[in-house]
Copies of this chain bind each other. A is one copy, B any other.
Amino acid sequence: MNQMMSNHKRNFLKVSSTMLGASLVAPLDSFAQVVKTDVNPGQNATKRMAQYALNVKYEDLPTKIVDECLRAFVNFSGVTTGSCRHEAVDISIKSLAPISKSTQATILGRKERFDILNAAFINGVSSHVFDFDDTHLVTNVHAAGPIASALLAYAEYRPVSGKEFLTSFYLGIEMSIRLSNALHPGHAGIGWHVSGTTPTIGAALAVGRLMGLTEQQMIWAIGLAASQPVGFRESFGSMNKSFNPGRSASSGLFSALLAKNNFTSSNQTIESRIGWANSLSVNRDYHEMLDDLGVRFETALDTYKPFACGIVIHPAIDAAIQLRNKYQLQADQIKSIQLKGNPMVLELTGKKQPQTGLEGKFSVYHSVAVAILNGKAGEKEYSDAIVLDPKTIALRNKIEVEVDPNIPKKSGDMTITLNDGRVFNQFVENAVGSVEKPMTNTQLNEKFHDLVDEILPMKNANRLLEASWKINTFADVGKFPKLSVR
């Protein structure tokens, strides 16, 4: 684990120090040139990715990775079923029902059925709309949702065994994370929302593998999927944010369906000077993308959120809950709250006066306020009503945030000053849910029930949870989605 982390840190530093270098200028120089050069450190990247997708086998996966994929699937299944009544899901269903006359696939938790492409989209929206999904902490990519959404839809269309499903789930997550790492930090830097861009390719690989694509077809599937990156960070705080992984799921599946019948693409869409990586970021690291496939597992570093909001404010929430519980704090005792955190706290979640529950997820001020008020920051703490509650607003106005690039994203330092003059401090080095302090399986089960018990009777919720932990033992994964419907 430490070695995996150090690899990231090294890479992050390396990228940061070179991001203003040659790669930034190359596209424009080349644009003016007459003859394209083929020199590229990612030579054959598209082909190598296709080959890995065809070679990966369940039997070769370390049990640790199988276990992590099951944790990711339990988290996905709880979050996606739990959010199935969200307005964004309702609207998607209402908008697409008149178009999709097919009943091939399930929307988790709902009675309505759709063709597999629209089902992949809607489940992908649902997987992300609570901002409660899995996270890889280098780029904050949330890979499991779009990958599982595409795979489950396909599994209701053609028979898929549990082992094959899990292997493809791993493949899709692993490659989405690696592709994300490869473009980091310039990809998000120019504006992209990575959870809608790289998982399109991950989903195409995952489904393409189940379809039995040839190497050439897999290369084409990658090319078509790469052609469809979705979404910008500007979408944060609107339904468009969950649209991005949703559309990523359906577009990845769409690409694999076409490639299966020999819809052609280029053999080098990923690495070409006028292709994916160059168009989507000002920096590229093909070592992150392709080195040590099957040996180094980024999937091992996937994490799950204990709080239903942007991950950069989890240390602050963790600190607030610890202080609240330790000193039994009441909001009206508090004079001021000082938080010190990483600059990304304000970059991503700096909304001072959120007006909706969704905006509240992008407000460190709201999140800390509800953590003090309720002792938690679950989905219920991000309702419109709580965001607009005068008690919440009064408390969030007492919060000041200071940022310091020396504070890691996983850490935070909080000082609360009371009206009576007392001062309490809490430093959080590793927020709960971080790689160093992951949620336990028991905590994942609690989170599942918090979400799904709103939707299903306890008996059905238990059955769905049990099935989620055993998805790799299913003879026919196509039977799983129906378990989420009452």
Could you mark each residue 226-239 of chain A with 1 if its beta carbon is under 8 Å from any beta carbon of chain B, else 0? Answer: 11111111110111
Q: Say yes or no: A266-B282 contact (C-beta < 8 A), given A232-B275, A258-B95.
A: no
Closest to A283 in B: B28
Contact present for B191 and A279 (CB under 8 Å): yes
Residue among B91, B237, B274 making CB contact with A233, cutoff 8 Å: B274
Q: Which of A191, A231, A247, A272 has the most CB of B within 10 A?
A: A191
When distances are taken between beta carbons in the complex, the residues of chain B under 8 Å from A232 are: 226-227, 269, 272, 274-276, 279
Contact A261 B95 (CB under 8 A): yes
Bound-state Cα–Cα, A31 to B347, Å: 8
A260 to B235, CA, bound (A): 18
In whole angstroms, how far apart are the Cα atoms of A238 and B247 in the complex?
24
Contacting pair A240 B265 (CB below 8 A): yes
Alpha-carbon distance A251/B36, docked complex (angstroms): 31
Given contacts A102-B101, A282-B27, contact A244 B227 (CB under 8 A): yes
Whether A366 sits at the interface, judged by CB under 8 Å, is no
Segment touching B, from A50-58, A182-190, A310-318: A182-190
In the complex, chain B residues whose CB is within 8 Å of the CB of A251: 247
| Residues A288-303 near B (CB distance < 8 A) | none
Q: Mark A186-202, 1 if CB is under 8 A from B, else 0.
A: 10111110001000000
Closest residue of chain B to A405 (Cβ to Cβ) is B32
Q: Is A257 an interface residue (CB 8 A)?
A: yes
Cross-chain contact A99 with B104 (CB below 8 angstroms):
yes
Contact-residue size bin, chain A (C-beta under 8 Å from the other chain): 35 or more
Decide yes or no whether A144 CB sits under 8 A from chain B. no
Interface flags for A3-40 (1: CB within 8 Å of B; 0: not) read: 00000000000000001100011011001111110000
A243 at the binding interface (Cβ < 8 Å): yes
Please state if B235 and A265 are interface contacts (CB–CB under 8 Å): yes
A19–B28 touching, CB < 8 Å: yes
What distance in Å separates the Cβ of A121 from its nearest Cβ neighbour in chain B?
9
Query: A213 an interface residue at 8 Å Cβ cutoff?
Result: no
Q: A278 and B28: CB pair below 8 A?
A: no
A227 lies within 8 A of B247 (CB): yes
Which residues of chain B are near A263, meaning CB under 8 Å? 88, 91-92, 95, 239-240, 243
Q: How far is the CA of A218 from the CA of B254 in the complex (A)?
A: 26
The answer to whether B115 touches A100 (Cβ under 8 A) is yes
Contact between B189 and A31, CB atoms less than 8 A apart: yes
B247 in contact with A191 (CB, 8 Å): no
Known: A227-B231, A237-B266, A279-B192. A257 touches B28 (CB 8 A): no
Q: CA separation between A347 and B34, bound complex, in Å?
A: 5
A96 within 8 Å of B by Cβ? yes
B residues in contact with A92, CB < 8 Å: 258, 263
A227 CB contacts on chain B under 8 angstroms: 196, 230-232, 235, 240, 243-244, 247
Does A415 lie at the interface of the complex (its beta carbon under 8 Å from any beta carbon of B)? no
Is A142 in contact with chain B by the CB < 8 A criterion? no
Partner among B20, B237, B239 whose Cβ is within 8 Å of the Cβ of A28: B20
In the complex, residue of chain B having the shortest beta-carbon distance to the beta carbon of A187 = B279
CB-defined contacts of A33 to chain B, threshold 8 Å: 343, 347
Please indicate which of the listed interface residues A102, A263, A282 has the most CB atoms of chain B within 10 Å of its own CB: A263
Q: Which A333-368 residues sit within 8 Å CB-CB of chain B?
A: 343, 346-347, 350
Q: List 28 A-B contacts (CB under 8 A).
A: A20-B25, A27-B190, A28-B282, A31-B347, A32-B343, A33-B347, A95-B260, A95-B263, A96-B257, A99-B104, A99-B257, A190-B278, A191-B273, A196-B227, A227-B244, A232-B275, A233-B274, A233-B275, A234-B272, A234-B274, A235-B266, A235-B269, A237-B266, A239-B264, A239-B265, A243-B258, A247-B251, A247-B254
Residues of A whose CB lies within 8 Å of any CB of B are 19-20, 24-25, 27-28, 31-36, 88, 91-92, 94-96, 99-102, 104, 115-117, 185-186, 188-192, 196, 220, 223-224, 226-235, 237-240, 243-244, 247, 251, 254, 257-258, 260-266, 268-269, 272-276, 278-279, 282, 343, 346-347, 350, 403
